[in-house]
Every structure is written in C-alpha cells, then in structure tokens.
Amino acid sequence: MKVLVTGYKGQLGYDVVRALKEKHIDAIGVDRDEFDLTNEEATTSFIKKIHPDVIVHCAAYTAVDKAEEDKDLCYNINVLGTKYVASAAKEISAKVIYISTDYVFDGKGEEPFKSTDTPNPNNYYGLTKYLGEKEISAILSDYIIVRISWVFGINGHNFIKTMLKLSETRNELSVVSDQIGSPTYTYDLSYAIVDMIEKNIKGTYHVTNEGFTSWYEFAVEIFKQANKTVKVNSILTKDYKTLASRPLNSRMEKNYPMKLRHWREALNHYLKEIL
C-alpha cells in the first residue's frame, strides 16, 4: 500500500508520515514545494505520477484570523485545492482521508456536536473547511472525513508553544475561559488515522483526545506541567477581540472506536518531547 500525505511540514502531516513508516507502510509526505494545491494541473499530474492507494489530505490554510481578509487564498487552498485532490483521487481510484475541524460548527449550546449534526460555520476558515468536506463527499464514494480540534504537535505553531514563549518574558497572562474543547495531540491522532487506513473504513468521524477544557484551564495546566510560574487571568471571548469569531462550544462527540488518551496525559508526553 502507498499513502500520500499532503501538508507534510505541518503538525499532523509530519506525525502521520512518521506513524505510517513505523507500521512499515509506504508513505510519501509532500508540501507546497512539491506541488501547488491551487494549481489543478500541477495537483492532478503529481498525484497521478505518485499513484497512491490512499491520500491523507492534511494540507490547509489554517490562519483563522487572516482568512477573514485573505479570503481568495483561503478558498483556493481549502476548497478548490481539496476539489483538485478529490478529482485526481477519483481518476486513480484512491481513497481520501480529509482532515476537517470543529470550526465547521457554530459553537452554540453546551452539548458535544455529533458527526451527523449539520455544520454551520461562524467564520470564513470554518466555512471553507465545510465546503471542502462537501467537495470530498460530492466527488468520492470512498472517503473519510476526520474532524479534529485544538491540535498540537512538534511541527508548526500551536497554543502550547505560544504559552511557553510568552512565559519567557511575561509572568502574567490573560486567556479566554468560555471557549471549551478538546486539545488534541497529533502524535496520538496519527495512530487513529493509520488505524482507519488499515481497517479500510468510510464515513465521518470526530477524533480528539479525551476530556474537555477551556483555553484558560489548558494554559494553567501547561504552566503547571512545565514548572513555569505564570499567573493566568480568566477573560471572556467578548473581551478578547479577534478578526474571526470563535466557537464557544468546540466539544465534539467522539465516534471512532479507537480512543485517544486524556489530553492532560498527552500534554505531559508532548512537553517531554519539546522541553
């Protein structure tokens, strides 16, 4: 079996390739250096040349606030790029695992969103990821949509790295406490994705580490585990202005049989890797 992983230089793509190779599965990680997702001809020819059995499509425009101003590029990558990947996959009968997000939901209420709930994004990034989902399901019959949230991994930027960086120069921070979700370690998530590939399943799945928390509680736990003395103040989303609105409720009902460990345990493992 040959698996093509887009967005290899990102947090999840890197770990998916590593997990696949650990399982001795032929994995090819690619990023924007290999082909331009917004170029249909380049995307199609590259995928046809590699001719994978499975494509794990991790590549995406993920700058949530910038997306509100850079809508064309966000759309071209997240919607058109996904369409090009799906169309090329169909031509060679390859399966696509599309990585989506909790941001496809509006964040209302307090109940975890089910995989069968109707998406209703409240920012442009979330809208493009939902439109990407629709491209996948319209073009392919053999696909998996994996919705994830609050990811952290070795590669790229994430909340944990930001908190640790700020702790070098600040001894007091304010963090929002009314956005609730599940921090998700790409190292753990990658094994679930490999499991999906090996089991040859289909459908839409919510996959995150166990447990729910707020960004405020997450920050407190990061500093506690990292032995950093930082006072964390709790603030509300309405008092922390951003270009893009954020969902207050990012809880998702996990519906994949393979359970990931609790986010606190995952955080502990991650900190040991990066500190």
- So which residues are the catalytic ones? 125
Residues 35/88, Cβ–Cβ less than 8 Å: no
CA 70 to chain centre: 20
Structure tokens at 211: 């447990």
Contact 38, 82 (CB under 8 A): no
Residue whose structure tokens are 């500093």: 223
Tokens of 172: 């007091």
Q: Check if the beta carbon of residue 133 is closer than 8 Å to that of residue 83.
A: no
Name the token pair of 92.
């060679």
The region that residue 234 occupies, defined by phi over 0 for left and psi between -120 and 50 for alpha, beta otherwise, is beta
